[in-house]
Amino acid sequence: MDIWGSSVSRESANACRDAHIGTYIFKQPQILAFDKPVDAELPEGAEAFNGSRWRRRNLQDAFLRSGDADIKGSDSGWIIVDFCDLIGRMTEFRGELFETDDFIRRTDFYKSIQKDCRECWLFERRDMKYCSDRITRFGEMLKAKYGNHIILIKTEPKDRYIDLDHRLKKMETDSMFIIKKRFISLCEERFATVTSCFVIDISRKFYASDSFPLGGADIVHYEDEFYRQAGAYISEIITGGGRHVFTSVDEDYILLRDMRAQR
C-alpha cells in the first residue's frame, strides 16, 4: 500500500493489521506534483541538513517533483491519500513553491538560499481554478494507476487539542485558519468526485493531540483513537467490505473523552 500524504495517513496505515506500506511520498503537496522542478542544487551529505540524510532526501524529492515517477514505479495495489500538505507553510524560490517547516528553515541549506525565498501559503500563489485543475489531474493519474483502490482520509484542521493531562485546550491559530479549513475541504471533495474513492471522514469527530512523539499538537496529529478507528476502516476496505464512505466513530469513546477533557 502506497501513501501520498502526511503522518496522518502513515499512522493510520500502521494501525491497520492488513496494510504493508510500500512507497511513501511525504512533503510533496499534490497540487505541485506537475509543476516545474525547483531550481536549486542541494549540497552533498547531510551536514547542511542538521545531520539528517532522510530530510535531505525528502527535500530533494520535493524539488524534483518525484511523486508521479515514484508511484509509476510502485507495485502496490492500493494508495492512501490525505491533503494535509496543501495547508503547510510554503516557500517560493525562483518562482517555484516547496513545502517547509521549522526543521527545514533551521538548516544551513535553507539559510544559504533564504535571501531569495518568500514564505507564503499555497492558496496565496495558486488560484482556485488552478488548484481544482491540478487536483483533477492528480486524481486521474491515481485512477489510471490504482483503479478503484484509492482511499482518501479527510483531515480537518483543528483549533483545539487534548493536552498531556487529557484536558481540552485552545490551540494558537493564525488568521488563515478558516481559509485553510475551507481550502482543504474543497480539494478533498474535488478529489473524491474525480476518483470515486473510498473516504474515511472521521477527523471532524476528533481533536488534535499533544501526545505525538515527534512534536506537539501544532504538527497535524489527532488522538490515538482516531488512528485505531481509521486503521480498522482501512482493513475493512482492503479486505472487501461493502461500504464506501466511513463517518461513524465509537460514540462511547467520544462521550468519555469529552467528560474527561472538560472536567
* Contact status, residue 140 vs residue 194, Cβ threshold 8 Å: yes
- Domain residue limits, the chain: 2-261
* Contact status, residue 95 vs residue 38, Cβ threshold 8 Å: no
User: Which residues neighbour 105 within 8 Å (Cβ) at sequence distance 6 or greater?
Assistant: none
User: Can you give the pLDDT of all 263 residues of the chain as single tens digits?
Assistant: 999 999 999 999 999 999 999 999 999 999 999 999 999 999 999 999 999 999 999 999 999 999 999 999 999 999 999 999 999 999 999 999 999 988 999 999 999 999 999 999 999 999 999 999 999 999 999 999 999 999 999 999 999 999 888 899 998 888 889 999 999 999 999 999 999 999 999 999 999 987 654 443 344 689 999 999 999 999 999 999 789 999 999 999 999 999 988 76
Q: What region does 96 belong to: left with phi over 0, alpha with psi -120 to 50, or beta? A: beta
> What grid cell was written down for 222?
489527532
Backbone torsions φ then ψ of 212, nearest 5 degrees: -65, 125
* Measured CA angle at 90 (ends 87, 94), to 5 deg: 145
Question: Domain 2-261 maps to which CATH number in 3.40.1420, 3.40.30, 3.40.50, 3.30.70?
Answer: 3.40.50
- CA proximity to 91, closest of 110, 112, 67, 64: 110
* Measured CA angle at 73 (ends 71, 79), to 5 deg: 30
* Contact status, residue 173 vs residue 223, Cβ threshold 8 Å: no
pTM of whole model > 0.95?
no
